[in-house]
Structures are given as C-alpha cells and as structure tokens.
Amino acid sequence: MPNRTPHHRARLTLRDGRGTAAVEFAILVPIFLLFIFGIFEFGRMFWTQNTLQFAADETGRYAMAHATATSSDLTSFLKSKVSSGVDPNQVAVAVVNDTTGGVKFVTVTADYTFSFLSAIIPYGPIQLTGRTRVPLGT
C-alpha cells in the first residue's frame, strides 16, 4: 500500500462526491418549506379577507331587500354568512345608517383579527376588514 501524505488524502476527500446530495438537501429543504408554508398562510389570509367581504356584500344585499331590518338583524345575518374557518364570534360587526342627498344608506363593516398558524412567518396579527355601503331608498 502506497504511503499517502496528508496532502494527497485532502485532495482525494475534495474529489469525493459522496454526501453531496445530502448536503444540498439539507440546505434547500428549509427554504422550500418556508416557501410552501408562506403560500399556504398567505392564501389562507386572502381567503379570510374574501370571506369577510363576501359576508359584508351579502348583508348589504339583505339590507336593501329588507329595509326595516335592525342593526342586530344585519349583524346576525352577516355572522351567518361567514364560512367555516372564520369564527363568527370573533368577527366585529358595525352597522352605520346615514342619509346623503335624501337617500338613506347603510354601511356594514366586518372586522377580524387574523393570526398566522405557523411560527415560521414572524408577523403579528393582521386586521382584516370587509365593508359595503348600500342605498336603502329615499
């Protein structure tokens, strides 16, 4: 067996490709998972925003069809339109009636505090709002 110097062993080690895939995997997997969780979490946030806006819009349509509905009626209706994944008890609803130019309007606002499920995204709670303003007639 030939006598191998430390210099020769170092050169052989640098040429050896065993374990390269494992090192590349260890470097890229956390970045890939962060990307995937980010897509999931931000998609969930936009879905929640869309849910709030849908509920506010539906409540506005309900208010136009039922001009005598009270604020509590509209609040109950909005909370019934919030779909699964959003706790209706966590949705704050504001109903404001006003008159402009002789036309009565109602503004319905739904506020929800959204929190990311994953600790990977270190961003605090975000306030999401759905709002609509509809005429009630003259």
Q: How many domains does the chain have?
A: 1
Using alpha carbons, select from 49, 45, 74, 52 the residue that is nearest to residue 136. 74
- Residue 129 Cα distances to 52, 78, 103, angstroms: 7, 13, 25
Domain boundaries, position 124: 6-137
C-alpha separations of 117 from 5, 13, 62, 126 in Å: 55, 44, 33, 12
Write out pLDDT tens, residues 117-138. Answer: 776 667 778 999 999 999 987 5
How many helices (H) and strands (E) the chain has is answered by 3, 3
pLDDT of residue 19: 75
Q: How far is CA 111 from CA 29, 53, 92, 134, in A?
A: 36, 10, 5, 18
> Would residue 89 count as lying in a domain?
yes
pLDDT in tens, 20-37: 788 888 999 989 988 898
**Within a domain: 1:** no
- Cβ atoms of 86 and 115 closer than 8 Å: no
pLDDT tens readout for residues 33-72 = 888 988 988 899 999 999 999 999 999 999 999 988 999 9
Is 74 among the domain residues? yes
Q: Report whether 102 contacts 138 (CB < 8 A).
A: yes
- Would residue 127 count as lying in a domain? yes
